[in-house]
Structure 1
Amino acid sequence: MSAFKYQNRRGLADFFCQELCRYRLSQLRDLGADAVIPVPIHKNKYKKRGYNQTALLSSRLALTLNLPHYPDMLIRSVNTLPQKQFNPQARLNNLKKAFCFNSHYDKLLSQSTPFSVLLVDDIYTSGATMEACTRILLEAGISEVYILSICIGIARD
């Protein structure tokens, strides 16, 4: 995951998606999500890295599931410090107001039918990032948020 995230090994997105789908494709389809979205990175990190590794994963997953992919539904509005250096409570505090909903999608959610998303991230450690993103999505009117991470990290207490 480190090579994928920090060493420009973008091709690993295909590998991770293939392995995920090999073991969990039917379960992912059974969720009935209406779209796939990635956890966003801040524009400064994007400029430095050149890509959002989670958006690469989520786009491939959306293709496999035949679902729309909305890489900009969530916006990282605050350039937070890396989560890996914080304990679980500090992670939550670090992410307060870090994300916002892209109002471009208000019309999509104004329809009378419920709308659910599969939120994708690369590493799940304490759940703080997923929780912060989920709160924003639910407040915006998303009916259900399913979460998916490729790796599980170890939280530092």
Structure 2
Amino acid sequence: MLDRYTAELRSPALPLVYGARNKDVKRVQEWLTLQGFATGIDEDFGPATRAAVIAFQTARGCLRDHNEGVVDAETWGALIAPLAGAEVLQTGASSFGDAVCRIARAHLAAKAREVGGDNRGAWVRHYGRGLDQSVVDFFPWCQAF
């Protein structure tokens, strides 16, 4: 059951490098775009995606001699940091309602939103908890939380 709640945090097969073409690249492109390093979301790790990865690595302090433009574990961790931080167990709540509000505020602070089209992106998949895209398409993603 917990797998459904952590699926979006799970790392793809790493490293992801220039020339890769798959759904894992799409996830990276979504997270880059969500964090302000816009690139096409097309499953193609081409020059624009590589440039966005390097810019992201530089801005987040995870650029190393061995990983320039390569999505490794450190880069992936930095990419998903907003969701990982929002999913931290909220302790110290005085009631169930307070705990729910703390979680909601954490998600607001992380700027949960769509990317790549209506009802699309990492946050949408997270709130859909692994549901097939056809099911997610039927309901607005914001009804899932």
Classify the TM-score, shorter chain.
under 0.3
Computing the radius of gyration from Cα coordinates, the structure with the larger value is: 2
Going by fraction, where is strand more abundant, 1 or 2?
1
> TM-score, normalising length from structure 2?
0.27
Going by fraction, where is helix more abundant, 1 or 2?
2
